[in-house]
A and B are shown apart, each in its own frame.
Chain A
Amino acid sequence: MLVILVKILKQLITLILDHRNRQQIAYGVAFSAFFGLLPFNFLLFVLLLFILCLFKFNLSSIFFGALIFKLLRVALDPVSDFLGYFLLVTCTPLVHFWTFLYNSPVFPWLNFNHTLQLGSFVLATLLFFPTYYGFLQFLDYFRQTLKPRLENSKLLTVLKASPVFHWAFKVKDWIA
C-alpha cells in the first residue's frame, strides 16, 4: 500500500514538474471534490467512477485532491448542509422538481433528499471550475517562479551535493 502511495506521489510530482498535462492535473483536482466532499453512496460512486474512466483525468491528482477535500470537509460540511437545506426546503420553486425525482425510479437511491448529500454535490459542482482555473494558475506560477527558486535554493543544493542523495539515485538506477 505504501509503495503504491509513494508511486502515486512520485507520478504527481513528475506531472507537476513536467510541462505537459497541466489541464489533466487541474481537471483531476477539480473532479476530486466529488470524491472528497460527498458522503459515500454506492450508486453515485459507480457513476463518478464511470465519468472518471470516460475522461482523461489524472488519477494521482484525483487521489491527492480527494485527500485534501476530505480534510476540508470538516469545515465545509455545515456549508453543504445549509446549501442542501436551502435547495430542498427554503427554495420552494424547486420542490416540484425534487418531488418528481423522489417519485422517479433509481433517483431515490442517490439520497438527493439528504441535505448534506445534495449540498455537497452542488458545492462540488460549483467549485469545479474555480478549482480548475485556480490550479492551472498555481501550476503556471509553480513552473515559472517557484520551481527555479527551489532549484537554486541552498537546501536543495546541499541535498544534491550530499552522498545520501547520490546513493539514493544509484539505488533508484539499480532498481530501474
Chain B
Amino acid sequence: MLRIKGVIAFLILFSFLTVFSFFFLDNLLCRQLVSISESLHGAKVDIRHSRVSFSPFGLRLGGIEVADPDHPMQNIFELEHLTILIDLSALLRKKLIIETLSADGFQRNTQRRYSGALPKNPSVTRKHPKRTMPTHTQKDALQFFTTLFSQAADVDVSGLFDDQPLSMNTRTQSIRHSMKQDYQRSFTQLKHDPDFEKAFADIQHRFSSFGFKTSNLIAIQASFDELNTLKENTQKLRQQLAHKKKTLKTLNDSYYTQILDLDNAFTKDLRTVLARSPLTQYKTASFSQQFLKTPLEIRLQRYVDYYTKIMSFIPQKSARPSPLSSPNVSNRRRNRIITFPNQHPLPGFWLKTFSFRQQSNTEHIHVDVRDLCSDQDKIQRPCRSRFDYKKGSYSSLIKATLDQQEDDRILTLIFSHRGLPISGQIYQSALLDIDGSVRIDDAELNGQIRLQASHLRFDPPLLKHPLSTVFLSGLKAPKIDLTLDGTLSSPDIILSSDIDRHFSAAFRSYLSAKEAKMRASIRAQLQRELTSNKTLLSKDLQGQHQQMSRLIDADIARVSAFQKRLRDQESSLRDAKKRLTAAADRLKRKASEDAQKRKATAEEKINSSLNNQLKKLF
C-alpha cells in the first residue's frame, strides 16, 4: 500500500516549490502586498522592490508610494525604505513579534508621475460618463499648482530674514509677480470648464487671503501652514465624526433591539391577559369606569422595570438580533473561532522597536515607539512612544513621550522658545502625583530657571493617545504655571506644578459630563418606551371600547325593537278592545231591543190572554 516513489515525487515537488519561492518570493510577496493594500486603500500603492531575508527573517521594502485617492496625482506619503524584522520561532506559534520596524525617507504630499487612481469598472463608467476637461489641461493645471506649492515651500526663510531683508523683498516681489501671472494664465485656460469652477473659487479664495498676507514670505508660508493645519483638522474631525456615528449606530441598534423585545413581551402579556378575561365583563357598565381609571403609568412603569431587570440579568437576550437583521444570523453562528488561554509567555503581537525619521529644510519628525504589545502584562514593560516634531527654525518645538503602563504613566513634554529647547519630564502616577526632572539642551544658562506658561496649547494630531485626548480635551486654555527651579550644575531639578489639579478637574468634569449624558440617554429611552407602550395600550383600549360600544348599541337596538314591538302590540290590543267594546255595546243594544220587543210581545200576549180570559169570564 505504501508508495515510495510517491514520497520521492512529493519531496521533489516540495523542493521545487521551495526553490521557486526562494527565487520568486520577493516578487510574489510584493504583488500580494500591493494588491491587498490597494484594495484596502482605494488608490495605487507602489512598491518598487521588496526583499525577503531568512537570516534574520524579515522583509525589506523600498520605494513605497501611497497615492491619495482624492488627488490621484499626489502621494499621501512616500517611504524610501521600510524594514520589518520578524521573530521566526514566535511566528511558528502564530505570534507576530516584530523585532524592528524602521522607516526612513518619509515624504508627504509628493507628486506622482502618473495617476494613482485605480482602474474603474468600465460598465459603471459607461453608465455615468463623467464630464471632464481634456487630460492634458488637467495635468497642466496640476503641474502648475504643484510647482507653485513646492516653490513656496522650498523657500528658506530663516536664512534670509535677518541678513538680507532687501534681497528677500525682491525675491518676494518676483515670486508674487510670477504667481499672479501663472494664476491668470491658468485661470484663463480653465475658467471655461464648469468642472473646475468650484476648485477655482477655492483657489481664488486662498490667493485672496495670500494677497493680504504676502507682505513677506513668512506670511505666505504661514498661510500654507494654516491651510495644511486646517485640512488636517478637518480630516481629523471627520474621522471623529465617523467614529461617533458608528458608536451611535451600534448603541441605537442595541436600544432598538431591547425596545423591540420589551414591546413584544408587553404586547404578548397584555393580549394574554385580555384573552383570558371573560368577555362578559366588557358588557357590564362598570367595566369602562374601572378599567379606564386604572393608573396606566404605574402599570406601565412596573412592566418597564420588570423587563429592564430581565434585560440586565440576561445580556444575551438584549444582544439577540432584531428580525430586521435575521439574514445574518446564520453567518454569525457559523465558523466560530474559539480562543483558548494563552499560556505562552509571549503575547500575540509585539512591536519591539519602531523608529521613523523625516528631516527636511522645513520639517523634522522623529517617531520612536518601543514595546507596543497586545498584552502589556506579559512583557512586564510599559509601551514607550516618543514623538518629536520640529517645524522651521522659529517655530516651537514640541516633543511628547508617552509611556503607557497599567499603573504608571510618564509624560515628557519638551518645549522650545527661540531656539532654546527646555524639556520637562512629568511622572504621572495613577493618583496624578507629579514629580520630575528638567533637562536643558544646547543652552548655556546659569542660575535659577523659571518657566511660566499662562496658556498651554497642545496640537491634537501630536498626541493621539486616547488617554491624553481625554485629558487634553477637558483642558480648555487653563492657566498652568510650570515653575522650574534649579541650576544646570545639578542634573535633577524639581518640577512643581498644579497640572495634576487641572487634570483631576478635567477628568472629573469629563466623567460627570459622560454620566449626565448616559443618564439623559437612559431617561430618554425609558420615556420613549413609556410613550410607546402607553400608545399601544391606549390603542388596545380604544379597540376594546369600540367593541364594547358596539355591543351596547346592539343591546339597545334590540331593546328598542322589543319596545317598539310592545308598543305595536299595545296599540293593537287597544284597537281590539275598542272593537270588542263596540261589539258589546252593539250586542247590549240588540239585547235590550230584543228584550223590549219580547217584553212588548209578552205584554201584548199577556194583555191579549188577559183580554181573552176577561172575555171568557165576562
Chain A residues within 8 Å of B, Cβ to Cβ: 46, 49-50, 52-56, 77-78, 81, 85, 88-89, 95, 98-99, 102-106, 108-109, 113-116
Contact = CB atoms under 8 A, between A and B. Distances in A.
B273 interface: no
Closest 8 CB pairs of A and B: A53-B6, A108-B94, A53-B10, A102-B340, A105-B92, A99-B340, A88-B338, A103-B343
30 contacts: A50-B7, A50-B10, A52-B6, A53-B6, A53-B10, A54-B2, A54-B6, A54-B7, A56-B1, A78-B334, A81-B333, A81-B335, A99-B341, A99-B343, A102-B342, A103-B93, A103-B340, A103-B343, A103-B344, A104-B93, A105-B89, A105-B92, A108-B93, A109-B92, A109-B94, A113-B337, A115-B335, A115-B337, A115-B338, A116-B335
A49 B93 contact: no
A130 B286 CA distance: 74
Contacts of A88: 338
B339 interface: yes
A54 B334 CA distance: 34
Contact of A113 (B9, B92, B338): B338
B126 interface: no
A55 B338 contact: no
A105 B93 contact: yes
Contacts, number: 72
Given A49-B10, A53-B9, A105-B92, A81 B3 contact: no
A55 B3 contact: yes
B233 to A, nearest CB: 43
A95 B343 CA distance: 13
Contacts of B113: none
A103 B9 CA distance: 33
A78 B341 CA distance: 26
Nearest to B90: A105
B418 interface: no
Given A53-B6, A53-B7, A53-B10, A113 B334 contact: no
A54 B8 CA distance: 9
B417 interface: no
Interface residues of B, number: 24
B336 interface: yes
A85 B3 contact: no
B334 A116 contact: yes
Interface in B1-24: 1-3, 6-7, 9-10, 14
B35 to A, nearest CB: 18
B69 to A, nearest CB: 32
Nearest to A110: B94
B94 A115 contact: no
Contact of B342 (A78, A103, A116): A103
A56 B337 CA distance: 35
A56 B5 CA distance: 10
A53 B334 contact: no
Contacts of A81: 333-336
Contacts of A102: 340-342
Contacts of A50: 7, 10
A50, A56, A102, A109: most-surrounded residue (chain B CB, <10 A):
A102
B1, B340, B342: most-surrounded residue (chain A CB, <10 A):
B340
Contact of B3 (A46, A56, A77): A56
A56 B2 contact: yes
Contacts of B343: 99, 103
A77 to B, nearest CB: 7
Given A54-B3, A55-B1, 15 more contacts: A52-B6, A53-B7, A81-B333, A81-B336, A85-B336, A88-B338, A98-B338, A103-B340, A103-B342, A106-B92, A108-B93, A109-B92, A109-B94, A114-B335, A116-B335
Contacts of A109: 92, 94
Nearest to A108: B94
Contacts of B342: 102-103
Nearest to A114: B337
B336 A98 contact: no
Contacts of A52: 6
A116 B333 CA distance: 11
Nearest to B17: A46
A108 to B, nearest CB: 4
Contacts of B9: 53
A105 B95 CA distance: 10
Contact of B336 (A95, A99, A106, A115): A115
A113 B2 contact: no
A27 B340 CA distance: 35
Contacts of B344: 103
A113 B335 CA distance: 10
Contacts of A89: 338
Nearest to A24: B1
B329 to A, nearest CB: 12
